[in-house]
Structure 1
Amino acid sequence: MVSTTFDNLNESKKILITDALLNEFSNHNLASAQVSRIVKESGIARGAFYKYFDDLTDAYNYLYHLAMRDIHQKIATDSDDQLRPNDYVEQVRDFIEKSTNSRYFALVKMHLLYNESTFLASFNNQLITENEFHWATQVMIHDAIKQIMVNPESKEIILQKLAKILRVLAKEDD
């Protein structure tokens, strides 16, 4: 967990370190990321890095959660006023749009392609207690986002397929 020492840094130093983290984790997966590149780019001592973060995974978690707060709206669930399949599709479209137009695009893509397996158990554990429709919906949404990030030219066809299968699951007519 990010230390209070990091939280109490002046804003310009936090931005400098966060930018170095963003550069590192946007260009290198978590397994090949290096503290040495981060400290060199941010101009901090290696010891300072470990005063701010437990390790690279901790720094990654900090940055990824920051990115998600910036680009990710609260995703409503089917318990929130009977969300309909097209609402889910619009949320996916919005997430893709915000991700694509954010400074975090390369980070999100790197996460989906290489890093998410490190964090998937947490995602799956949250979903396992949900009803079958919500579980299936979230798994398909997550996969659709990944496919679109990898193949942006296929966005519309993937969203159409997602909408169709969500309607089938929700037992709606086409």
Structure 2
Amino acid sequence: MVHATFTRLPAAKQARVQAALLAEFSHHPLQTAQVARIVDQAGIARGAFYKYFDDLTDAYQFVFQAALTTIHQGLPAQPSATNTAAFVASIQAFVAQTDATGYRALITMHYRYNEGFLGATPSALGTGPDAATRWAVTTLYHQTVRDILLDPSTATARLAQLQAVLTKGV
């Protein structure tokens, strides 16, 4: 978790560090990322990096979470299996936001390399009568986004495939 020392930095310095993190993790998988490149680009001392973050993984998780928060802002309300048009539109909006916010390379790097490196955790079990449907819709949503970002040339086909599945009912 990011240390309080980082949150107390002036906004301009925080932005410089975040830009350096984004550049590093957008071009290098977490397992080959280097603190040296980050501190050099950010113009900070190596010791300062460790006052802001525990390690590279901590810094990665910070910038990745910041990216997801930014990308998700302004997206449509959570669609459901009965609202397929909004569901498909939200995927298109998410992909467009990864481009508009400059986070596409980071998210693609995450799916391609870092997701497996960090290890996976199981999804939470839902409760209620529609829990299974919500789980299936969420799983399909994330897999479709992942597939489109990893192979953009298949976006139309993947969205059509998703639309067909949702129209039939999950």
Identical positions, percent: 37
Alpha-carbon RMSD: 1.8
Aligned residues of 2:79 and 2:86 also touching (Cα < 8 A): no
Q: Give per-residue Cα distances to partners, 1:3-26, cap 9 Å, x unaligned.
A: 111001011111111111001000
Aligned CA distance change for structure 1 residues 9 and 152 (closer, same or farther; 3 Å): same
1: CA distance, partners of 2:123 / 2:152: 29
The unaligned stretches of length 5 or more in structure 1 are none
Corresponding residue of 1:95? 94
2: CA distance, partners of 1:40 / 1:56: 15
2: CA distance, partners of 1:107 / 1:43: 21
Task: Report the AA paired with residue 26 of structure 1.
Answer: S
Q: Give per-residue Cα distances to partners, 1:117-165, cap 9 Å, x unaligned.
A: 32531xx333x33522111111111111111112212111110101111
Task: Report the AA paired with residue 76 of structure 1.
Answer: Q
1: CA distance, partners of 2:27 / 2:114: 12
Please say which of residues 129-138 and 59-68 is displaced more in the overlay.
129-138
Aligned residues of 1:3 and 1:53 also touching (Cα < 8 A): yes
Corresponding residue of 1:26? 26
**Within 5 A, what are the aligned runs for 1:116-135?**
116-117=115-116, 118=118, 120-121=120-121, 124-126=122-124, 128-129=125-126, 131-135=131-135
Shift of 1:83: 5.2
1: CA distance, partners of 2:30 / 2:82: 35
2: CA distance, partners of 1:155 / 1:102: 19
Q: Give per-residue Cα distances to partners, 1:58-98, cap 9 Å, x unaligned.
A: 111110111111111465154xxx85122211111110111
Corresponding residue of 1:65? 65
2: CA distance, partners of 1:77 / 1:137: 9
2: CA distance, partners of 1:119 / 1:72: 23
Shift of 1:39: 1.0
Aligned residues of 1:77 and 1:134 also touching (Cα < 8 A): no
The unaligned stretches of length 5 or more in structure 2 are none
Aligned residues of 1:25 and 1:107 also touching (Cα < 8 A): yes
Aligned CA distance change for structure 1 residues 134 and 41 (closer, same or farther; 3 Å): same
Aligned CA distance change for structure 1 residues 120 and 167 (closer, same or farther; 3 Å): farther
2: CA distance, partners of 1:69 / 1:10: 21
Aligned residues of 1:96 and 1:145 also touching (Cα < 8 A): yes
Task: Report the AA paired with residue 157 of structure 2.
Answer: I
Task: Report the AA paired with residue 42 of structure 2.
Answer: S
